[in-house]
Amino acid sequence: MTQLSRRHPRYLSLRVRAGLARAFREGLVVPEGLVAHGRGEAFDYLLGERTTAAAWKAERLAARWLHDAQRPVLSVNGNVASLASNEIARLQRALPRLRVEVNLFHRTEARARAIARRLRRAGVTRVLGLRPGVRIPGLSSDRAWVDAAGIAVADVALVPLEDGDRTAALRRLRKRVISIDLNPLSRSSRDANLPVVDELTRALDHIAREAERLDGRRRLRPARPARPSWLRAEAIREIRARLTRAAARGEVGPPPWPRSTGPRPVRGTARRSRRRR
């Protein structure tokens, strides 16, 4: 296996990729999950690989909704278990009512069991979804199968790295849906009551921290209403502002040119065309 150098400027990102590739070889993550991770990475890059002020607001509110819920459920797929089992265990410790349910788009019983094992090893208790007996109406994928004691009766559902169809289907069942998705334009982000546009492990860590802070507090002010469109618009504005700054500094240019293929870029073209403008 490739040795990763801690001095590599993208060490953390490479380590996460190596972990996902291992989880793929172990059968927890599907090939489509690796593609989905790449899409998430691209959006994280554009957002500056940090939690924006708006995402923090969403995460504080998410903690509050989960804290106040009667039957909160966190839905876990292959990517989520392999990236964030420890964070899920911490969140469940902070929110004792929280149920954790394995729910898969590409479902096999072996995968569901392997994911449940990974969660339990990290300290997650009461893992649901191994024998889902209820189908959410209006969905064709296996994601429609949910646990009668979990998502089927949840009042608040936290759905990271979800597909848009199910977010909409859960809304139709009048559940309050919190999504975690780095893509502010995805259907899940668009359809959720509360879209958290942030990286999964950062988001769960922040929600857990906030839930720990809420724990034990008797009197809480009423929670503020969510402003889903504003939250998504803030993420889009952040991406636009970062790209505008990068373009102004001349950071955008052609990628390094391979030696033998294609025309060579003309040196200084970018600068000359900027001066002309």
CB of 119 to ligand PTJ, least distance (A): 13
- Judged by CB under 6 A, which of 59, 101, 165, 181 binds ligand PTJ? 181
> How many angstroms separate the Cα of 263 from the Cα of each of 250, 257, 270, 272?
21, 9, 16, 19
The interface region with ligand PTJ, picked from 31-39, 65-73, 219-227, 263-271 by CB under 6 A, is 31-39
Question: What is the amino acid identity at position 2?
Answer: T
CB of 75 to ligand PTJ, least distance (A): 9
Closest-approach residue to ligand PTJ (CB): 40
CB of 253 to ligand PTJ, least distance (A): 25
DSSP string for residues in 71-121: SEEEEE-HHHHHHHHHHHHHHHHH-TT-EEEE--SS--HHHHHHHHHHHHH
Return the residues of window 44-103 that contact ligand PTJ according to CB under 6 A. 77-79, 83
24 is a site residue for ligand PTJ (CB under 6 A): no
Parallel, antiparallel, or unpaired for β 176-180 and 156-160? parallel
- In the complex with ligand PTJ, the residue whose CB is nearer, 32 or 109, is 32
Q: What length is written for the chain?
A: 277
Return the residues of window 139-168 that contact ligand PTJ according to CB under 6 A. 161, 163
- In the complex with ligand PTJ, the residue whose CB is nearer, 49 or 215, is 49
- In the complex with ligand PTJ, the residue whose CB is nearer, 65 or 145, is 145
- In the complex with ligand PTJ, the residue whose CB is nearer, 51 or 183, is 183
CB of 217 to ligand PTJ, least distance (A): 29
> How many angstroms separate the Cα of 10 from the Cα of each of 45, 113, 253?
11, 33, 20
Return the residues of window 190-249 that contact ligand PTJ according to CB under 6 A. 199-200
- Judged by CB under 6 A, which of 55, 69, 104, 116 binds ligand PTJ? 104
Contact residues toward ligand PTJ (CB under 6 A) are: 30, 32-33, 36-37, 39-40, 43, 77-79, 83, 104-106, 161, 163, 180-183, 186, 199-200
